[in-house]
Structure 1
Amino acid sequence: MSPRGRRTVITAALSLAAVMLWPSAAGAAEEACFDRATQPYTSVVDGHLHFRPFGGQAVPFEEMVGYLEQSGVKHASVFGIGQRLPVDSPCTYYLDCPGTPVLPSLKNDVVNAENVVDYKPQDVDLALSMTFPDLAHPKTVPPGMRLLDKEFPGMFRWMGEVNLVKQAILPNLAEPADLDDIRRWAPFMKQLRERGMPLTIHSDLGNNDNPTEFLYLMREVLERYPDNKIVWAHMGLSKELTTMDPDRHIAIMKGLLDRYPLLTLDLSWRVLEDTYFSKPGIREKYAAFFDDYPTRAIPGTDFVASRDKSYEVYAQELEVTSRINKAMGDEAFRDIALGENYFRLLGIDDTAPPICTA
């Protein structure tokens, strides 16, 4: 065969190979990206999920994992609740029983860890969290950490949600932490830094009478422990603070994010959607804020798995808390809703898919 003939055969073979390979390569590329026009806007990570209630029966662990699988959530933080109602209380929710004490307890963390050991979920990555710490009595935290480490070595990857100041449970005799307490957190904060463990803190920004009444407490935490990964639950908002000027709130958040590079905002709880994000003109302001700081927030439902709730309730909480995702630009959507920030925060070897482009 002449050289020209050989070149013709080789060219034809390469062309045929390209034709055979191209559809699958194109299909793989198309499959690898996330198409916001056709795929769900609901978050694929739940960075704030309580597998245990304050009291009463919980949704069985395996059933709760099924809720995640059914709703498309691939990663979740396994929070207990660090305060429990008395075992003889008929209540499952503290607001139904003012005057009944909610007391710090390790029980929920132990139950969660035992459930993870026994069930060993395969299709959902679960990050066990220590929720027992009583921030008003910080000397009790290191012994509790040692106990959980001894019983469940290497299993806990998160701490929180823990309460700095939570106005809603004050009628239940809960003791908020103060400035002196915060200064005495140093031993367990050092351990968290060494482990690279995030700490989710519930710290109310304030209330409708004084929107920034408790801001000084979170400032003290951030100033004293700037090298800790701190996640501010609900961006400081709550049912006690529903009328704050969003421009003022966003300005405070921006200032703190600029000053403290390891601060992450937690967008969990439907209160954010119901009282802020859903209002005309305000959704766009918060979406623009997240677009400006796409790497600094994680999503969550703040669902509390008490037995009186069902999959439908979880699915609704996921949908409501995910509505803000629709207003975000592609970068913020990928980092927040598709989990890139969550993976980075936990050091997970996973990557969110790129957003498909036209």
Structure 2
Amino acid sequence: MTAVAIGVSPAGAGSVLALDACFDRAREPYTSVVDSHLHTRPFGGKAIPFEELTGYLHKSGVRYASMYGIGQTLPVDSGCTYYLDCPGVPVTPSMKNDFVNAANYLEERPEDPELALSMTFMDLNHPETIPSGIDLYDKEFPGAFRWAGEVNLVKQALFPNQHEPATSENIKNWAPFMKVLRDRGIPITIHSDLGSDAEPTKYLPLMEETLRRYPQNKIVWAHMGLSKELSTMNPDQHIGIMKRLLDRYPRLTLDLSWRVLEDQYFSKPGVRQKYAAFLDRYPTRAIPGTDFVAAANKDYQVYAEELEVTSRINKALGDEAFRGIALGRNYFRLLGIDRTAPEVCAAR
């Protein structure tokens, strides 16, 4: 396939495709052309209309995205849009967002941006319900879903909404649905907090158990295990954990989505270069994303800001990691799609 250089103004004013060209980092924007972590449905309330949202992607220069619903939804009669605003209100797994996503996608079938539908209904605490759910998706939307997640192994932010971490016994019982994903080559994005400021690695054993039991699955670790509850972890300690697990589990991929990574870690003095050096050492093992949630009270400017903030780490990357992350090479490989990221132009 011919290499394509994708040029977009920082303000997202449009795009220019140049065949037989390399990507000139000195002239082109640093924002990622992939959004691998995009929630096209909100936790509750109205969503941004699908056609409007795909317009945001096109305008900002995003050409590929994984189309997450939100499996953990608020009750329709709660009046809540965001779970943090409604402590005590249960947030429970549901198929409804995935069905709306599939219907919207199949009606429009957009080619630019190119979207990958994701199954987000999976209740990791009740894995016995998952295989029949996948069967239903196969019946209703054959071949449409190419991703799984974001699903919650442990998410501390949801504790006030009756979420509980999955247990080692739950993880053992994932085997049937993990086999389905493995056989189909479907990646699964798992939200699994490392811990809190008080106990930075409290929940690390849950992800280690997952990786130990399912080393052949394409597991994507959302936000590298970081969260608002873990804002003060020593970056060297965090990077050390990531290195150890990447070395041990070759199919593990790190998800760089959510502005919390930039705001709480990458932006601190001296820290950005540490993470950039780490990603340069593992240039094929991370994918970008915004973690944007498409609630109707947001607009294009909010999306564009999320994309810019989550892409800032790209500026510090070497060319190989930049090509893998920002230009989509790692995402294409993980999803198994026939696309070629452009080469980065040699420095002049």
Short-chain TM bin: over 0.9
CA distance in 2, matches of 1:289, 1:187: 34
The alignment status of 1:252 with 2:252, answered yes or no, reads no
The alignment status of 1:141 with 2:159, answered yes or no, reads no
Residue 330 of structure 2 aligns with which residue?
Answer: 341
Residue 251 of structure 2 aligns with which residue?
Answer: 262
Q: Look up the equivalent residue of 2:230 and give its one-letter code.
A: L
Residue 113 of structure 1 aligns with which residue?
Answer: 102
Q: Which among 305, 310, 321 is matched to residue 321 of structure 1?
A: 310
Task: Spell out, residue by residue over 1:230-254, the C-alpha distance to the aligned partner (whole angstroms, 9 max, x if none).
Answer: 0000000000000000000000000
Q: Which among 81, 90, 110 is matched to residue 92 of structure 1?
A: 81
Secondary structure of residue in 2 paired with 1:219:
helix
The alignment status of 1:306 with 2:300, answered yes or no, reads no
Q: Look up the equivalent residue of 1:289 and give its one-letter code.
A: F
> Residues 172-321 of structure 1 correspond to what in structure 2 (within 5 A)?
172-321=161-310
Q: Which among 117, 131, 154 is matched to residue 165 of structure 1?
A: 154
Residue 125 of structure 1 aligns with which residue?
Answer: 114
CA distance in 2, matches of 1:270, 1:217: 24
Aligned-pair identity (%)? 72
Conserved? CA contact 1:137–1:181, under 8 Å = yes
Secondary structure of residue in 1 paired with 2:65:
strand
Q: Offset at 1:175?
A: 2.7
Q: How many residues align?
A: 331
Q: Look up the equivalent residue of 1:245 and give its one-letter code.
A: N
The alignment status of 1:356 with 2:342, answered yes or no, reads no
CA distance in 2, matches of 1:255, 1:138: 28
Residue 90 of structure 2 aligns with which residue?
Answer: 101
Q: Offset at 1:164?
A: 0.1
Conserved? CA contact 1:234–1:266, under 8 Å = yes
CA distance in 2, matches of 1:176, 1:255: 23
Structure 1 or 2, whichever has the larger Rg, is: 1
Secondary structure of residue in 2 paired with 1:332:
helix
**Structure 2 gap ranges (5+):** 1-16
CA distance in 2, matches of 1:230, 1:84: 23
Secondary structure of residue in 2 paired with 1:100:
coil
Task: Spell out, residue by residue over 1:149-185, the C-alpha distance to the aligned partner (whole angstroms, 9 max, x if none).
Answer: 1000000000000000000001001232110000000
Deviation >3 Å, runs of 4+:
28-31
The alignment yields a C-alpha RMSD, in angstroms, of 1.0
CA distance in 2, matches of 1:104, 1:316: 29
Q: Offset at 1:124?
A: 1.1
Secondary structure of residue in 1 paired with 2:311:
helix
Secondary structure of residue in 2 paired with 1:147:
helix
CA distance in 2, matches of 1:191, 1:57: 33
Q: Look up the equivalent residue of 1:165 and give its one-letter code.
A: V
Task: Spell out, residue by residue over 1:184-233, the C-alpha distance to the aligned partner (whole angstroms, 9 max, x if none).
Answer: 00000000000000000000000000100000000000000000000000
CA distance in 1, matches of 2:25, 2:298: 30
CA distance in 1, matches of 2:164, 2:132: 20
Q: Look up the equivalent residue of 2:186 and give its one-letter code.
A: M
Normalised to the residue count of structure 1, the TM-score between the two structures is 0.91
Q: Offset at 1:31?
A: 5.1
Conserved? CA contact 1:30–1:356, under 8 Å = no
Secondary structure of residue in 2 paired with 1:187:
helix
Conserved? CA contact 1:301–1:318, under 8 Å = yes
CA distance in 2, matches of 1:266, 1:133: 19
Task: Spell out, residue by residue over 1:21-53, the C-alpha distance to the aligned partner (whole angstroms, 9 max, x if none).
Answer: xxxxxxx99852000000010000000000000
Bigger helix fraction: 1
Q: Look up the equivalent residue of 1:299 and give its one-letter code.
A: P
Secondary structure of residue in 1 paired with 2:101:
helix
Q: Offset at 1:123?
A: 1.3
Q: Offset at 1:304?
A: 0.2
Secondary structure of residue in 2 paired with 1:181:
helix
Residue 53 of structure 1 aligns with which residue?
Answer: 42
Q: Offset at 1:122?
A: 2.1
CA distance in 1, matches of 2:92, 2:284: 35
Q: Look up the equivalent residue of 2:310 and give its one-letter code.
A: T
CA distance in 2, matches of 1:61, 1:83: 20
Task: Spell out, residue by residue over 1:303-347, the C-alpha distance to the aligned partner (whole angstroms, 9 max, x if none).
Answer: 000000000000000000000000000000000000000000000
Residue 21 of structure 1 aligns with which residue?
Answer: none
Q: Which among 73, 82, 87 is matched to residue 62 of structure 2?
A: 73
